[in-house]
């Protein structure tokens, strides 16, 4: 049955939004963008397509399809893309910065409270309940992504192989993603019916027209968004400078082996490996932060994910927590400047994590605007997403081990934590409760349990 079309009465497009009104909207979005990428994209669709009519449905989905093929947080990249389309490079920069700035400030404050007062009975009790809830949240991510993605035996095989590669053979995360992409590329050529993307953000059975938009289906590409090799070259050159100058400064000031320099280098690589969303890169970050560098413990990593879930902005902002806690605990600038060291590390992590997203959108956007055809990369994306399911299952088992057997398998099984995890999983997966409410209830339960046991 062909897609239906719902048409609203013809009306003229709204006036082109001023830069100041766009600024206010992007700031508002940064403050209310809870719910992960799906929720953030839904908010942008409701505000920009349905209510304000700054961009049409088809142009919105066209931009989203491109962002889904890129590494990095797709919701923030979509904001950059639309901001750039409306007001040029300054519009894209403002949209992208305001998308993460409120979360950055909140996480710096929350990370300080956590590391400075985390051993108090109140904070410890709250996080005792939050950790099992986070395990359930990661399980929900695997369940949700798997339900949308694993549509046939080929994709199931990729997911299982990715899990085995990570859980048993401990293969590097980037290698798993590259192999999945190659399998998807070859499968798309020779077995395309097994690698069709389904259930993505952009999939819709109904095309809705909400009225003429500022950037409508047939609106000519704005002058600043037209493809020119010189413009692309300038963006790439500036992007390389904005990456290399801070990196060289860190090497000059502290040396290559210093924690701040290693954070800058590592989180640049992490930013380029986040195909499939933030949950896909968490095992990569977990291995480095906990095992390779020893920046923080597995329990602290779970706590950081909980804080990331309770703040607006992309979930990849949990990396700010990693940087802050690592610099604070190592007292990089001396015992008298712990907060300053954590703040500097958080800013460095933010810069090197999100800079690639700006470069990819501002350099690639003009090419994307030059064609409204679909991309022939969906097979690779489907295979990568299938591999991500296996990776997230591995992460779920890692979290479950550290939450349910906090002292190791030889110690007692934590029945109370298991109960909170089971409740959270049922609430999220079966009853579709909001993540924030689940975390609040789990934290309250954890506090009551801890108080009753002391």
226-270 pLDDT, tens digit each: 989 999 999 999 999 999 999 999 999 999 999 999 999 999 988
Answer yes or no: are the C-beta atoms of 421 and 309 closer than 8 Å. Answer: no
Identify the pLDDT of residue 87.
95
> pLDDT per residue over 2-46, tens digit each?
444 455 555 688 888 999 999 999 999 998 876 567 668 878 888
Distance CA 258, CA 344 (A): 14
Q: Is residue 5 situated within a structural domain?
A: no
Q: Is residue 351 situated within a structural domain?
A: yes
Comparing 272-276, 321-325, 411-415, 426-430, the range with the smallest average pLDDT is: 272-276
> pLDDT per residue over 339-365, tens digit each?
999 999 999 999 999 999 999 999 999
What does the CA dihedral 104, 329, 442, 149 come to, rounded to 10 degrees? 60
Q: Is residue 401 situated within a structural domain?
A: yes
Distance CA 214, CA 220 (A): 11
Q: Is residue 8 situated within a structural domain?
A: no
Query: Exposure pattern of 190-205 as b/e (b: 16+ CB <10 Å)?
Result: eeeebbebeebbbeee
Q: Is residue 7 situated within a structural domain?
A: no
* HSE value, Cβ hemisphere, 13 Å, CA-based, for 452: 8
Work out how many domains the chain is built from and give that number.
Answer: 1
Answer yes or no: are the C-beta atoms of 270 and 320 closer than 8 Å. Answer: no
pLDDT at 200 over 50: no
| 429 burial via Cβ count (<10 Å: 0-12, 13-18, 19+) | middle
Tokens of 144: 């949700």
Rg (CA), the chain: 22
The mean predicted confidence, pLDDT, of the chain is 85
Tokens of 285: 């970050």
Q: Is residue 62 situated within a structural domain?
A: yes
201 confidence band (pLDDT: 50, 70, 90): very low
Answer yes or no: are the C-beta atoms of 289 and 322 closer than 8 Å. Answer: yes
Q: Is residue 36 situated within a structural domain?
A: yes
Q: State which residues form the domain around 245.
A: 19-217+227-453
Single out the residue of 164, 176, 169 nearest to residue 275, CA to CA.
176
Q: Is residue 397 situated within a structural domain?
A: yes
């Amino acid at each position: 049955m062909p897609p239906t079309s719902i048409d609203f009465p013809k009306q003229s497009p709204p006036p082109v939004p001023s830069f100041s009104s766009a600024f206010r909207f992007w700031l508002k979005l940064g403050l209310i963008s809870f719910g992960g990428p799906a929720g953030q994209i839904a908010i942008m669709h409701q505000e920009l397509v349905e209510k304000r009519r700054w961009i049409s449905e088809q142009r919105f989905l066209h931009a989203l399809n491109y962002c889904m093929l890129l590494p990095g947080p797709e919701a923030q990249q979509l904001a950059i893309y639309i901001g750039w389309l409306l007001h040029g490079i300054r519009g894209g920069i403002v949209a992208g910065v305001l998308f993460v700035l409120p979360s950055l400030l909140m996480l710096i404050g929350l990370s300080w409270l956590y590391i400075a007062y985390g051993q108090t009975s109140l904070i410890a009790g709250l996080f005792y309940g939050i950790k099992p809830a986070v395990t359930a949240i990661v399980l929900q991510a695997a369940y949700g992504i798997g339900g949308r993605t694993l549509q046939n035996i080929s994709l199931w095989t990729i997911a299982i192989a990715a899990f085995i590669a990570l859980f048993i053979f401990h293969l590097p995360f980037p290698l798993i993603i590259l192999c999945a992409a190659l399998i998807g590329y070859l499968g798309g050529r020779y077995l395309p019916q097994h690698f069709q993307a389904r259930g993505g953000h952009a999939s819709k059975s109904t095309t809705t027209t909400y009225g003429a938009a500022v950037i409508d289906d047939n609106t000519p590409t704005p002058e600043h968004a037209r493809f020119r090799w010189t413009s692309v070259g300038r963006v790439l050159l500036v992007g390389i400078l904005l990456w290399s100058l801070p990196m060289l400064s860190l090497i000059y000031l502290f040396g290559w082996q210093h924690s701040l320099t290693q954070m800058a280098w590592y989180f640049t690589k992490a930013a380029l490996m986040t195909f499939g969303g933030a949950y896909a890169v968490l095992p990569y970050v977990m291995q480095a932060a906990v095992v390779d560098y020893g920046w923080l413990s597995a329990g602290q990593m779970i706590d950081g994910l909980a804080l990331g879930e309770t703040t607006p902005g992309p979930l990849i902002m949990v990396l700010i927590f990693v940087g802050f806690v690592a610099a604070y605990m190592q007292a990089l600038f001396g015992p008298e400047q712990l907060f300053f060291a954590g703040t500097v590390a958080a800013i460095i992590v933010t810069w090197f994590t999100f800079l690639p997203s700006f470069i990819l959108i501002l350099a690639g956007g003009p090419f994307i605007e030059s064609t409204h055809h679909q991309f022939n990369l969906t097979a690779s994306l489907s295979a990568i997403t299938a591999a991500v399911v296996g990776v997230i299952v591995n992460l779920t088992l890692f979290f479950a081990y550290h939450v349910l057997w906090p002292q190791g398998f030889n110690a007692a099984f934590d029945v109370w934590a298991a109960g909170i995890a089971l409740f959270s999983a049922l609430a999220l997966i079966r009853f579709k409760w909001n993540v924030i409410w689940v975390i609040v209830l789990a934290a309250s339960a954890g506090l009551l349990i801890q108080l009753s046991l002391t």
